[in-house]
Amino acid sequence: MGDSLNLLPASFADFRRAAEKRLPRFLFDYIDGGAGAEVTLRRNTADWEAVQLTQKVLRDASRMDCSVDLFGEQLALPLVLAPIGMGGMSARRGEVQAKRAADKAGIPFCLSTVGICTLEEVGAVSDRPAWFQLYMLKDRGIVQEILGRAWNSGVRTLVFTIDLAVLGTRYRDIRNGMAGGLGPWGRLRSGPLDWLLHPRWAWDVGLKGGPHGFGNIAMYVKQSKNPRDYLHWTGTQFDASVTWKDIEWLRQVWKGNLVLKGVLDTDDARQAVAVGADGMIVSNHGGRQLDGVASTATMLPRIADAVGSDTTLLVDGGIRSGQDLVRALALGAKAALVGRPWVMALAAGGEAALSRYLGLVKQDMRTALGLSGAINARDVGRGVLL
């Protein structure tokens, strides 16, 4: 988990550096990168850092409590491991390891439609239900089959991604041959040579971590041999014609909690409430879709002012620390999701490293609560902001 000096990772940046050394270039860039010039990707983190907390003294900090209630479930801290496409490629059967770490931390894990591990694999980890994230496919029969499998695997909270009508232009993926356009150089970068340069990953994941397809849709994808083939299939099957009418249909089909992921506009937020969503995630897809849009830290308080009393608000994009969790609560969210942090930590050292990262986040949140005077996560409001 440490570098050549055996230093223990203490922050997201430390886990990220370790992941960069271990992962093949194409995979690290796929996880780490954003759309276009990555302006929004940088804004996401910078704008959370710009949210200033107050420092208040002589408050009784002996009984700090990071726990919150979310959709009828008690979370040990207001955090959810976000759905990440190909997240399971960061370590051997990565989503299973992530689910175990989330269980130990007392928080939910959300499996992606295009995750490596199946709903059944993740569901077998424990009795604690996972969340599941859905992309709308053109074949609604397949969608209903997947939803049935999710329900039978214990899923009761469905996260539906609504900001992928078209795929963002991701320069890093193009350069590495993940998105086409570079011919043999791209294929070489994401092929055997890259594996040879990262032998630990090649052995642990490449050779021992299979199968490497998107487990939840593998039965529908014919003649595909690797994640890039699956990415091509999903690119042709994602339904770009989805509108609010389809959300109404989904609301009728899905019996559990329905959370819409990708809201970045107050009018869209009001429409999400109107169609009966139980919650929404203020999100710009981690800066991976439309570059140049506002950060989630900027939009969260505006959306909270518009619909915060009518729904359950969550947020993702740029959350890196326990202080960021307090900032998110102060600006109107009930909890936050992290994507890159859990995948980077898992890549750095598997389940143990991810558990360490989550422990650091909790300790950092306790520090922020204790020194801002909030003490209890349920009591955090804008009063803790400068």
Using 50, 70 and 90 to split pLDDT, how confident is the model at 4?
very low
Sequence ranges of the domains in the chain? 12-376
Mean pLDDT of 82-90: 95
Mean pLDDT of 191-207: 83
* CATH numeric code, 12-376: 3.20.20.70
pLDDT tens profile 289-311: 999 999 999 999 999 999 999 99
pLDDT tens profile 265-278: 999 999 999 999 99
Range with lowest mean pLDDT among 42-56, 171-185, 201-215, 286-300: 171-185
Predicted TM-score (pTM) of this structure = 0.94
Asked if residues 331 and 304 have their Cβ atoms less than 8 Å apart, the reply is yes
> Residues with catalytic annotation?
285
Main-chain phi, psi angles of 79, to 5 degrees: -145, 140
CB atoms within 10 A of CB 223: 6
Mean pLDDT of 206-212: 89
The answer to whether residue 357 scores a pLDDT higher than 90 is yes
Q: What is the mean pLDDT of the chain?
A: 92
The answer to whether residue 238 scores a pLDDT higher than 90 is no
pLDDT tens profile 314-340: 999 999 999 999 999 999 999 999 999
Asked if residues 23 and 354 have their Cβ atoms less than 8 Å apart, the reply is no
The answer to whether residue 370 scores a pLDDT higher than 60 is yes
